[in-house]
Amino acid sequence: MAKKSVGAFDVPTIFFGGGTPSLIPSSDIARVIRKVREEFNLEPGAEITLEANPDTLSASYLDELVAAGITRISLGMQSAVPHVLAALDRTHNPENVIKACKLVKDSGIEHLSVDLIYGVPGESIEDWKTTYESALSLPIDHISAYALIVETGTKLAARVKRGELIIPPDDETAEKYLIFDEAALQSGFNWYELSNWAKPGGECRHNIAYWNGSRWWGVGPGAHSYFAGKRWWNVKHPNAYQNALAIGNSPEASSELLSEANKRDEFVMLQIRMSEGISLSDLTEEELAKVTKYRDSGHIEGANWDTGHLVLSRTGRLIADRIVREMLV
């Protein structure tokens, strides 16, 4: 269906995202990659990532993934502290992350990342230090660290609403970001996007494509896509998704066409998250006037500003959304 829509195309990256795609048999992972290769030009050296729960990996499974073409594994570590994992309703044993990392490296898969979550109810500063120090000691070249967002309708949201769990104050969560960023830098990880750090060459090419406004085709229930100025998303229920495909219909639930103004706003919103920042020549005089105060306050790097780029400082990254809102409103 994608081939019929977009025609011949070079594919530089594939990303098997969660849920828990490592529950899928390796033969099915291989079938998807093989089909992409048959229908499109899968570029030599393409980055192919699989997200994984540490409990689901075995040496034989990883060997099969390597044979299928997987080049990158992203482990859902989240925390190294059992009571924090319990608050997140995660079931894995922190020790299994260490074992999973060894299995991945022994398999020969080149790139390995872990995902962390901070700002979890009941998580102290010391708990967070335990988590990131454990992560930084692993044989990885990439870390994603996200502040917890409590989504309405989730089990966690219900527990917070009942008062069973207390969300840490914003100042504490900000402090957690700052101390982690410094520790990551000291361990050889450079930030290249607000929530992502990598050793040289370890950056996630697939996610960079999102942030740079490139095109992608999402496969699966609820998956989003973007191509030729159109964004669309699939029906969320697996049965509805399957039924649509079974009769040859698109599983698309709805869509939107982005205006040039929409695209421009999204360019600013996404590009400001990157370590390269935004060229000042891409901003209007009005926008420059609005953000000059943040250069003066130290939230925007002065040296980069002087060479023609808006790059957020470490403290500026904490208020990126505020800066973008002020620029674009």
- Separation between Cα atoms, residue 76 and residue 88, nearest integer Å: 12
What domains are there in the chain, each with its CATH number?
2-210 (3.20.20.70), 221-252 (no CATH), 261-328 (1.10.10)
- Separation between Cα atoms, residue 114 and residue 74, nearest integer Å: 5
- Separation between Cα atoms, residue 1 and residue 15, nearest integer Å: 18
The mean pLDDT of 129-148, rounded to a whole number, is 98
**What pLDDT digit, counting tens, does each position of 281-316 carry?**
999 999 999 999 999 999 999 999 999 999 999 999
% of the chain residues with pLDDT over 70: 100
| Local confidence band at 150 (pLDDT 50, 70, 90 cut-offs) | confident
**What pLDDT digit, counting tens, does each position of 163-183 carry?**
888 889 999 999 999 999 999
Cβ atoms within 10 A of the Cβ of 224, count?
A: 13
- Separation between Cα atoms, residue 190 and residue 200, nearest integer Å: 8
pLDDT at 52: 96
Q: Is the pLDDT assigned to residue 154 strictly greater than 90?
A: no
The mean pLDDT of 100-112, rounded to a whole number, is 97
Q: Is the pLDDT assigned to residue 152 strictly greater than 90?
A: no
Q: Is the pLDDT assigned to residue 70 strictly greater than 90?
A: yes
Average pLDDT, the chain: 95
- Separation between Cα atoms, residue 116 and residue 114, nearest integer Å: 7
Cβ(82)–Cβ(94) below 8 Å: yes
Locate 34 and state its tokens.
Answer: 């093989």
Cβ(268)–Cβ(324) below 8 Å: yes
- Separation between Cα atoms, residue 100 and residue 248, nearest integer Å: 40
Q: Is the pLDDT assigned to residue 202 strictly greater than 90?
A: yes
**What pLDDT digit, counting tens, does each position of 15-50 carry?**
999 889 999 999 999 999 999 999 999 999 999 999
